[in-house]
A and B are shown apart, each in its own frame.
Chain A
Amino acid sequence: MTASDSLFGADLLSVAQLTRAGIVEVLEVAEAFAEVSRRSVPRVPTLRGKLVATLFFEESTRTRLSFETAAKRLSADVATLSVASSSVKKGESLRDTIETVEALGADVVIVRHGASGAPAQVARWTEHARVINAGDGWHEHPSQALLDAFTVREALCEARGIDSEQSGASVFDGLRVLIVGDVRHSRVARSEVLCYRALGARVSLCAPGTLLPRDADAWEVDVVSDLDDALGEADVVSLLRLQTERGSGSFVPSLAEFTATHGLTERRAALLKPDAVVTHPGPMMRGVEVASSVADAANALVTRQVANGVAVRMAILYLVLGGEPDLVAAAP
């Protein structure tokens, strides 16, 4: 895949398709939409008449709600198709399902699927609709990584007294990002590695041996074994959800042991640098990946991630539908 400097008019299937400039473009458009979100009537007519279809083959409330809120704030029509993955097993091929949705007139299809790569296949089967990957199997969750980067940039700029709108990707240069937990089964981790690396950060992974993907060193990251040592070096700690529903539970002897070796406990949180920030894509298992008090501390960005998610997804929808990056501010 050749990375592009812009998401303009493209599908969003993987963070790998964006260069540093392409990611910064998303962050900058998202800044403008974040301003919209703060208005008393947080709505602009930008995508009036466009039909955004959410096609979730796997359960999700948060991501779907976030995308649908984003679409509504842009005045798009939203069609929600809840497709239990069992409907495929009833006989309709994935391709037929997609062609049906496109025949309804969808301009954008937002796909979540339990199988890695499904959005890439969907993109091959659609003729004119743009496709956004809202999470596929263990593969990627691009909008999550982009909103994580947006939130980290915002928080670091605030702390350093920089205007984030003018900052580009400067705060990421040499930034130390530590991703902790179930990397193996995490689509967020794969997208974050691509995103933070493209932005210029140095990424480390810390996980129990069973939860590291095979040949992870091919990702050009550092794999660290001792969390306590790594925490003192990190500027950003990205905690991942332990995907117990995907059987990750059997990859560690017990949740208690996972917490003991890889949880961000109060003791470990004290090892962090004073200006380090903590992200988590949610939903959190308090007391497992992160102590409750740590999750609620000022340097934990969890609720800001959710709030920013809407603005970042507005930016993604706007760009994939061919919106001009310069014209966002022209919204009434």
Chain B
Amino acid sequence: MSTDRLLIAGGTVVGVDGTRHADVLVEDGSIVEVADHIDVPSDAVVLDAQGCAVGPGLVDLHAHLREPGREEAETVESAAHAAALGGYTAIVAMPNTEPACDTASVVADVLARASGAMCEVAVAGAITVGRDGHALAPMAEMARLGVTLFTDDGTGVQDGDLMRRALEYARGLDVTCAQHCEELVLAAGGVMHEGAWSSMLGLRGQPALAETAMVARDVGLVQLTGARLHFLHLSVPDSVRLVVDARRRGLPVTCEVAPHHLSLDDSQCATYDPCFKVNPPLRSASDVQGLVALLRDGSVDAVATDHAPHAPEAKDQSFDDAPPGMLGLQHALGLTVEALGGVEGLDLVMLFALLSRRPAAIARLRDEDARAGGHTAHGGDVKAGGAANLCVIDLDQPTTVTVSSLASRSKNSPYVGRTLPVSVRHTVLRGIPTVRDGVAVR
């Protein structure tokens, strides 16, 4: 069966500024026609999209693929598999691997592993050597391999002067820095959000201020340097407000939030199940409400998963000893729909803006930027001539999360047992389905 020609039939096509019922014809990796009705070409594979939204493939700005170094938890291949099932056609690999992705050779290694994967993988490089916050990593040699995003994620660059140099240097290279905002001194070793729950549970808390203080510092550094900065996984409303205010003043800042900060609060820690340990930590119920409101009113640029697989033995420790992180790639879409208020009255344009268009822009995975970096284009309009990286969302079919349905090598999903409002029916990468009728196609 040739899949050179695909007809995605009967769906609602989600464009940049509106939706229409239309069929989409794909040929040789590109969209060749979008029209109210297209007769099925004799040799085409038909993907049924009745009751579905057809939009650009999702783009994740924030995934921990664990390879090289922690292959027992995840590999590029297994993460890409989970990503495809989640509707993604491109993901950004975070650099906190072992060794850290802080040189061209590690970047090249990860890119090579991704060549046959079920989604495209862009690599984020480290800002500092070994991500230890002391000396600038060779950003230029990584940029030559197409790296456009640099971060020490897993930790923030604590030294404000070094962060200033990083921003100045990145500006000269026309690349973007991204910050994990956590002032370690203020975080004081906290393993969960500091509040009534941490006090009652006797767990060391980290105050929201540990995050907002670094956001405030870095907004100042952007003002000082004029460099672009993306704020990773902001978890409290005050952080987002600082970014919104900076954007209003014309500063080149963007921010993402993670699905778990929109759906889970610190009361989840009451069972001491380390599955709910994550960094930044699950915040108070009022923070979650506030973050959801800021998502809905357009203050947030992107939803990014912070997909962080951990092998079972790593999580079979005390809450203090277990590493932070939870799975995200497979269910971020459903959680985002839930946070936006569910399927009824769902703003599909906004949904794809949050999960595809804006993250693609931030990661420079759109149009000619993508081609310059060795990728096909993601997050573009669904129109003739566009790359056929597409996501078809079934709006009538909820998903119930089960352990056996997780494609990740790790099983640390906090959503097992939860039912999410939508499901991914098809994912199309470079004109070829990676997921068809909810099943991965290898």
Asked whether any CB of chain B lies closer than 8 Å to the CB of A312, the reply is: no
Residues of B within 8 A of A (CB): 194-196, 198-205, 207, 271-274, 313, 316-321
Q: How far is the CB of A221 from chain B (nearest CB, A)?
A: 12
- CB pair B272 A120 closer than 8 Å: yes
A96, closest chain B residue (CB): B316
- CB pair B313 A93 closer than 8 Å: yes
- Give the residues in chain A near B205, CB-CB below 8 Å: 214
- Give the residues in chain A near B202, CB-CB below 8 Å: 116-117, 136-140, 187, 190
Asked whether any CB of chain B lies closer than 8 Å to the CB of A94, the reply is: yes
- CB pair A219 B200 closer than 8 Å: yes
Q: Produce 1/0 per residue, A86-99, CB < 8 A to B.
A: 00110001111000
B204, closest chain A residue (CB): A138
- CB pair B195 A215 closer than 8 Å: yes
CA distance A218 to B63 in the complex (A): 37
- CB pair A94 B271 closer than 8 Å: no
- CB pair B199 A117 closer than 8 Å: no
- CB pair B320 A94 closer than 8 Å: no
Q: How far is the CB of B358 from chain A (nearest CB, A)?
A: 35
B269, closest chain A residue (CB): A117
Identify A115's interface contact among B195, B273, B313, B319, CB under 8 A: B319
Identify A117's interface contact among B194, B196, B201, CB under 8 A: B201
- Give the residues in chain B near A293, CB-CB below 8 Å: none
CA distance A140 to B205 in the complex (A): 16
Identify B199's interface contact among A89, A121, A218, CB under 8 A: A218
- CB pair A214 B316 closer than 8 Å: no
- Give the residues in chain B near A120, CB-CB below 8 Å: 271-272
Q: How far is the CB of A167 from chain B (nearest CB, A)?
A: 30
- CB pair B195 A214 closer than 8 Å: yes
Identify B272's interface contact among A96, A121, A213, CB under 8 A: A121
CA distance A215 to B271 in the complex (A): 20
CA distance A47 to B201 in the complex (A): 33
8 A Cβ contacts from A117-142 to B: 117-118, 120-121, 125, 136-140
CA distance A93 to B271 in the complex (A): 18
- CB pair B316 A94 closer than 8 Å: yes
A1, closest chain B residue (CB): B270
- CB pair A214 B319 closer than 8 Å: no
B318, closest chain A residue (CB): A115
- CB pair A93 B316 closer than 8 Å: yes
- CB pair B194 A214 closer than 8 Å: yes
CA distance A113 to B272 in the complex (A): 13
- Give the residues in chain B near A216, CB-CB below 8 Å: 199
- Give the residues in chain A near B272, CB-CB below 8 Å: 116-118, 120-121
Q: How many residues in A have their beta carbons less than 8 Å from beta carbons of B? A: 28
- Give the residues in chain B near A117, CB-CB below 8 Å: 201-203, 272, 318-319
List the 6 closest pairs (A to B, CB-CB), nearest first: A117-B272, A139-B202, A115-B318, A138-B202, A213-B199, A95-B316
Residues of A within 8 A of B (CB): 88-89, 93-96, 113-118, 120-121, 125, 136-140, 187, 190, 213-216, 218-219
CA distance A54 to B198 in the complex (A): 27
- Give the residues in chain A near B274, CB-CB below 8 Å: 121
CA distance A13 to B194 in the complex (A): 22
- Give the residues in chain B near A136, CB-CB below 8 Å: 202
> With A94-B321, A139-B202 given, can you name 15 additional A-B contacts, CB distance below 8 Å?
A94-B316, A95-B313, A95-B316, A114-B320, A115-B318, A117-B319, A121-B274, A121-B319, A125-B316, A137-B320, A138-B203, A138-B204, A187-B202, A214-B199, A216-B199
A57, closest chain B residue (CB): B318
- CB pair B316 A116 closer than 8 Å: no
Identify B201's interface contact among A88, A89, A96, A139, CB under 8 A: A139
Q: How far is the CB of B426 from chain A (nearest CB, A)?
A: 39
- CB pair A137 B195 closer than 8 Å: no
| 16 A-B pairs with C-beta separation under 8 A | A89-B321, A93-B317, A94-B317, A115-B321, A116-B272, A116-B318, A117-B201, A117-B272, A121-B274, A121-B318, A137-B203, A138-B203, A138-B204, A139-B201, A139-B202, A214-B198
- Give the residues in chain A near B316, CB-CB below 8 Å: 93-96, 125
Identify A116's interface contact among B203, B207, B271, B273, CB under 8 A: B203
- Give the residues in chain B near A139, CB-CB below 8 Å: 201-203
A183, closest chain B residue (CB): B199
A187, closest chain B residue (CB): B202
- CB pair A218 B196 closer than 8 Å: yes
- Give the residues in chain B near A219, CB-CB below 8 Å: 199-200
CA distance A120 to B318 in the complex (A): 10
- CB pair A116 B320 closer than 8 Å: yes
CA distance A79 to B194 in the complex (A): 38
B271, closest chain A residue (CB): A120
- CB pair A113 B199 closer than 8 Å: no
- Give the residues in chain A near B195, CB-CB below 8 Å: 214-215
CA distance A328 to B28 in the complex (A): 82
- Give the residues in chain A near B317, CB-CB below 8 Å: 88, 93-95
B273, closest chain A residue (CB): A121
CA distance A44 to B125 in the complex (A): 68
CA distance A137 to B204 in the complex (A): 9
CA distance A28 to B214 in the complex (A): 55
- CB pair B199 A215 closer than 8 Å: yes
- Give the residues in chain A near B194, CB-CB below 8 Å: 214
A92, closest chain B residue (CB): B313
CA distance A113 to B319 in the complex (A): 11
- Give the residues in chain A near B271, CB-CB below 8 Å: 120
Q: How far is the CB of A109 from chain B (nearest CB, A)?
A: 15
CA distance A24 to B425 in the complex (A): 58
Indicate the member of B313, B318, B321 with the most A CB atoms within 10 Å.
B318
Q: How far is the CB of A83 from chain B (nearest CB, A)?
A: 12
A16, closest chain B residue (CB): B200
- Give the residues in chain A near B198, CB-CB below 8 Å: 214
A216, closest chain B residue (CB): B199
CA distance A45 to B318 in the complex (A): 36
CA distance A215 to B199 in the complex (A): 7
- Give the residues in chain B near A140, CB-CB below 8 Å: 202
Given contacts A116-B203, A120-B271, A140-B202, contact A214 B318 (CB under 8 A): no
- Give the residues in chain B near A138, CB-CB below 8 Å: 202-204
- CB pair A113 B200 closer than 8 Å: no
Identify B200's interface contact among A95, A125, A218, CB under 8 A: A218
- Give the residues in chain B near A95, CB-CB below 8 Å: 313, 316-317
CA distance A214 to B203 in the complex (A): 11
- Give the residues in chain A near B207, CB-CB below 8 Å: 214
